[in-house]
């Protein structure tokens, strides 16, 4: 569970907060950088990128990955197969990058929706996180058979271990969604200095230097 939280709720937003696109592009050899720029300028690539980065597509992709990989059959498959385990983690990370992109808006991202729309965007994501966490926490049976036979470090039953996983998803997971929603509310309702501070964000500075 801890790995999944890091892949979906910690690493992607931190990566976007670092505004990585400009440093990555500037770090490429000039010829390769021009080739990448030319490829990204192609109409089919631009159209695909516009579709994938839309907030609705990002939210739905993130939600589907979240729920589908917690279906017991698929979850157990990932536990028993290294290849499927890597696929699961890649799916979590890639869809999380898409999900957090419109929230962080690291350069060269542009907002498709008004900033206030990111608040229900985050709240709805938190609601589904709470729903799955509650299922894991309060279930009266072990949902994932593989965990019933797995060795445990502490003297806990499989059901207690599952409940702890649910609490871990519930509390830190909720904080990961609620905290940026609060920051957005403060920026939207706060004084004008927040707008000026946003212009000095490293992502904006990086964008201005390219």
pTM, rounded to two decimals: 0.83
The rounded distance, in Å, linking the Cα atoms of 54 and 74 is 27
Residue 135 CA, chain-centre distance (Å), reads 21
- Mean per-residue pLDDT of the chain: 86
Contact 107, 207 (CB under 8 A): yes
Report the pLDDT value the prediction gives residue 201, as an integer from 0 to 100: 54
Residues 6+ apart with CB under 8 A from 150: 158
Model pLDDT for residues 79-126, shown as the tens digit of each residue: 889 999 999 999 999 999 999 999 998 888 888 899 999 999 999 999
Rounded-to-integer distance, Cα 131 and Cα 174, Å: 11
pLDDT at 149: 73
Stated as kind and residue range, the H or E segment containing 122 is helix 118-138
User: DSSP assignment, residue 141?
Assistant: S
N residues, the chain: 210
The CA distance from 42 to 199, in Å, is 30
- The answer to whether residue 130 scores a pLDDT higher than 80 is yes
């Amino acid at each position: 569970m801890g790995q999944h939280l890091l892949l979906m709720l910690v690493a992607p937003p931190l990566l976007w907060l670092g505004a990585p696109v400009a440093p990555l592009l500037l770090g490429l050899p000039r010829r390769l950088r021009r080739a990448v720029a030319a490829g990204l300028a192609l109409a089919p690539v631009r159209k695909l990128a516009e579709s994938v980065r839309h907030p609705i597509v990002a939210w739905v992709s993130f939600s589907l990955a979240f729920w589908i990989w917690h279906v017991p059959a698929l979850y157990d498959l990932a536990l028993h197969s290294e290849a499927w385990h890597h696929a699961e983690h890649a799916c979590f990370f890639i869809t999380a990058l898409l999900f957090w992109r419109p929230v962080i808006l690291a350069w060269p991202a542009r907002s498709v929706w008004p900033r206030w729309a990111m608040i229900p965007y985050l709240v709805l994501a938190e609601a589904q996180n709470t729903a799955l966490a509650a299922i894991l926490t309060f279930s009266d049976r072990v949902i994932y058979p593989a965990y019933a036979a797995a060795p445990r470090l502490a003297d806990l039953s499989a059901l207690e271990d599952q409940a702890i996983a649910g609490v871990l998803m519930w509390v830190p997971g909720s904080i990961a969604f609620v905290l940026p929603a609060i920051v957005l509310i403060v920026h939207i309702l706060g004084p004008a200095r927040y707008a000026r501070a946003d212009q000095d964000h490293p992502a904006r500075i990086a964008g201005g230097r390219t």
